[in-house]
Copies of this chain bind each other. A is one copy, B any other.
Amino acid sequence: MPLSEFELIDRFFRGCGAKRTDVRVGVGDDAAILECPAGMELVAAMDTLVDGVHFPHGSPPGSVGHRALAVNLSDLAAMGARPAWALLALTLPAAEESWLSEFAAGMSALARAHDVALVGGDTTCGPLCVTVQVLGHVPRSSALLRSGGRAGDALFVSGTPGDASAGLAIEQGRLPGAGEAAAYLRERFLHPAPRLALGECLRLYASACIDVSDGLLADAGKLARASGCGVEIAYEMLPVSQALVGGVGEERARELALTGGDDYELCFSVRPAHLARLLADLPPQRWGYTRIGTLTESAGAQALRGGAVMNFSTSGYDHFLTLT
């Protein structure tokens, strides 16, 4: 027996996420009422995951719930913001209790880990599609933008990009024989970890920041373009995980690190004058980030291998282009 829309919302989403004292009215009225802290700016992001486009059809529901929130939290991390509240618009073909229960649990666990309250949203009937909107805060005029970079700034990336795109290939059966690495790589796709703590710390050090969702080279290029410059990334400096190298080999691993999507790592630039302070205050080994290149005077995003420019058929994942 199908549940009604109202019972659905009540049952699975009323207790979802963290409890926060700044939520005056949460799920259940026409809108949520929230208290913004004084001296802070509001930061708002909204991203959609479509079944069969952003995750394989039949994905574990807990992963879909996790990822729908994670991709949005990653946007807040890239601004140096601290998340507070989320709204969920869930479109699904039928009200299946077990699916909903796992989906809500996946989203709720990540929300609680980052003290995010689910304060509202909508459930509708249609092809599976999940939109999450997150709201957070940054101290006034301190947000990290894409546009703050300058030629000569050093470029960094957090984590080990490329893992998630290999994990997706494994999920889709396109990468057999990944052996022991398979579980790790799948997990990197299914449960990305938004770099919120790093993002907040970087407000004091970075000149510009972007989250890596469409591929490192493409997203570094967007940061550079917004900053009115170009970027060079050194192939040899790319951080790749042992699992990725074990699963696909060194060559392909570095290619995926440059062009694979779904990483949800941070790519950021730092003025030369601030480098020593960054490296001392946020030790790279402990915080998990690596220098990979430099912002340049001349426009464009290039990967250099032994000093020579590398060519890629596509420099990032574009949802429309990949379907044509």
Q: Do A2 and B126 form a contact, CB below 8 Å, given A46-B87, A50-B91, A89-B47?
A: no
Contact-residue size bin, chain A (C-beta under 8 Å from the other chain): 35 or more
Task: Give Cα A91–Cα B6 distance, bound, in whole angstroms.
Answer: 24
B91 pairs with A129, CB closer than 8 A: yes
Residues from chain B with Cβ under 8 Å of A129 in the complex: 91, 126-127, 129
Q: Which of A272-324 contact B (CB under 8 A)?
A: 318-321, 323-324
User: Of A27-35, A151-159, A230-238, which binds chain B?
Assistant: A27-35
Interface assignment of A119: CB less than 8 Å from any CB of chain B: yes
Q: Contacts A4-B318, A124-B53, A318-B6; is A36 near B42 (CB within 8 Å)?
A: yes
Stretch among A77-85, A174-182, A251-259 lining the B interface: A77-85
State which of A104-112, A131-139, A164-172, A185-193 sits at the interface with chain B.
A131-139
**For chain A residues 65-105, which have a beta carbon within 8 Å of chain B?**
75-76, 78-79, 81, 85, 87-89, 91, 95
Task: State which of B3, B34, B78, B138 has its C-beta within 8 Å of the C-beta of A41.
Answer: B34
Instruction: Let me know if A323 and B48 touch, CB within 8 A.
Output: no
Task: Tell whether, in the assembled complex, residue B33 and residue A42 are in contact, meaning their CB atoms are under 8 Å apart.
Answer: yes
Interface residue ranges of A34-61 to B (CB < 8 Å)? 34-36, 38, 40-54
- In the complex formed, the residue of B with least CB distance to A125 is B319
User: Are A46 and B89 in touch, CB under 8 angstroms?
Assistant: yes
Task: Assess the B81–A124 pair: CB atoms within 8 A.
Answer: no
Contact (A95, B46) CB under 8 Å given A31-B79, A81-B31, A226-B29: no
Q: Which residues from chain A sit less than 8 Å from chain B, CB to CB?
A: 2-6, 8, 24-25, 28-36, 38, 40-54, 75-76, 78-79, 81, 85, 87-89, 91, 95, 119-127, 129, 131, 133, 135, 138, 143, 145-147, 209-211, 226, 318-321, 323-324
| Pairs A–B under 8 Å by Cβ, sample size 28 | A3-B320, A4-B320, A5-B318, A5-B319, A6-B318, A24-B143, A29-B147, A30-B45, A31-B75, A32-B43, A32-B45, A34-B41, A42-B135, A44-B87, A46-B121, A46-B131, A46-B133, A48-B89, A49-B124, A50-B125, A52-B126, A53-B126, A89-B89, A89-B131, A125-B323, A131-B131, A133-B133, A135-B135
